[in-house]
A = this chain, B = another copy of it.
Amino acid sequence: MLITELGEFGLIERIKRVLGEKGPGEIVGIGDDTAVLEVSGDKVLLATCDAQIEGQHFLRDQITPRQLGQRAAAINLSDIAAMGGVPRYALASLALPDHLTVEFIEEVYRGMKEFLGRFGANLAGGNLARSLGGIFVDIALLGEVAPELVLLRSRAQPGDRVLVTGTLGNAAAGLQILLGKVNPGDLKVEPLVQAHLTPEPQVRAGQLLAKLRCVTAMIDVSDGLAGDMTHICESSQVGVEIWMDQLPISEVTRRLAEQNGKNPLDWALYGGEDYQLLFTAPPQEVERIISSVRGEIGLEVTPVGGVLKDLREKRLVRRDGVSFPLEAKSWDHFAKSRGQ
């Protein structure tokens, strides 16, 4: 059924059915213009928003509507994760072309609900509008954290180690596959495509890292390690060296790059959209961090560099000691030319 046949309020009723009961803390939820929500008075509120725009962030023939909903939720959950926060409430603002089916929209909402629900958050409200162009899914996500646990970008200290969760470059490799720019051959690349389409936000790792009380600065890798590390450097007024050969790149990504004459470091450093956590901590805490995250979440953490004193010093260091400037060649929505 087309959404024009059902109308806005009919569509809201269908969405309400998809979303089911109100979540914990929701006094007034979906269906009203304004959600009424309980907050914990001893916490600070975290608030973030991020949009998925057709043609810009996704292509409709390469992502299912459910994956689109999951992806829109994931990128916002990742921002709350980077603060060590607990995601609680989401508002979804959608602009939709007339010709979409109700079933398509329901799948988008199912995807959002699934990913939010996995981390204890609910869709508490939103907005629907008609789009004269493509699909636009904008989510505002609210979370909470105890004020003493909040992790900022601005407190990295010279001498700290730089660490990252999981692997880097999978999402960029997955995008290259979707765009037909590399040939996977016999490689099992489904996880790479999935890493691009529905990244896994490291919410539990973020919360655990906050509780360890030794992380000095944290950000999620949305723009690429080089770009996001630069954000930490500028906020903290420090420099950095990144150990090129230590970057955690998966075997399949390495092989895909090799078979296609690409450098996997490009994907790891500048690809972006991995949604791993990049953070700094004193060297004496590194072992405890690695074993805690491995033990409690089953996720690897890798030391990939060190924090330097001088903001102007930002470099990549190769095993043989040769170093290169670390350029913030990250995703920039309005740059004249793009590195990707």
Contacts from A to B (Cβ < 8 Å): 3-9, 11, 27-28, 32-51, 53-57, 79-80, 82-83, 85, 89, 91, 93, 95-96, 98, 124-134, 136, 138, 140, 142-143, 145, 147, 150, 152-153, 219-220, 222, 235, 332-336
Set B7, B35, B143: member contacting A46, Cβ < 8 A: B35
Q: How far, in angstroms, from A318 to B310 measured CA to CA in the complex?
A: 77
Contacts of A140 in B (CB 8 A): 47, 49, 91, 93, 140
Contacts of A37 in B (CB 8 A): 44-47
Set B46, B50, B333: member contacting A8, Cβ < 8 A: B333
Q: Are B46 and A334 in contact (CB under 8 A)?
A: no
Q: How far, in angstroms, from A39 to B39 measured CA to CA in the complex?
A: 8
Closest 3 pairs (CB-CB, A-B): A41-B41, A133-B133, A140-B140
Closest to A222 in B: B33
Contacts of A85 in B (CB 8 A): 34
Question: Closest CB-CB distance, A116 to chain B, in whole Å?
Answer: 14
* Apart from the given pairs A39-B39, A39-B44, A57-B129, 11 other A-B contacts in the complex at a CB distance below 8 Å: A7-B336, A8-B332, A28-B152, A34-B85, A36-B83, A37-B46, A50-B93, A50-B127, A53-B129, A54-B132, A138-B138
Q: Which of A34, A55, A79, A134 has the most CB of B within 10 A?
A: A34
Q: Are B41 and A334 in contact (CB under 8 A)?
A: no
Set B34, B124, B126, B150: member contacting A82, Cβ < 8 A: B34
Set B34, B129, B336: member contacting A83, Cβ < 8 A: B34
Contacts of A11 in B (CB 8 A): 334
Q: How far, in angstroms, from A47 to B7 measured CA to CA in the complex?
A: 24
Contacts of A128 in B (CB 8 A): 333-334
Q: Which of A57, A132, A333, A334 has the most CB of B within 10 A?
A: A334
Contacts of A45 in B (CB 8 A): 36-39, 45, 89, 142
Contacts of A32 in B (CB 8 A): 152-153, 235
Q: Are B47 and A142 in contact (CB under 8 A)?
A: yes
The 18 sampled A-B contact pairs (Cβ below 8 Å) are: A3-B334, A4-B334, A4-B336, A7-B334, A7-B335, A33-B82, A33-B222, A35-B46, A36-B83, A37-B44, A39-B45, A45-B142, A50-B93, A51-B95, A53-B131, A56-B132, A93-B138, A95-B136
Question: Closest CB-CB distance, A170 to chain B, in whole Å?
Answer: 21
Q: Which of A40, A50, A125, A133 has the most CB of B within 10 A?
A: A133
Contacts of A49 in B (CB 8 A): 91, 93, 125-127, 138, 140
Q: Are A333 and B130 in contact (CB under 8 A)?
A: yes
Closest to A40 in B: B41
Question: Closest CB-CB distance, A330 to chain B, in whole Å?
Answer: 9
Q: Are A46 and B36 in contact (CB under 8 A)?
A: yes
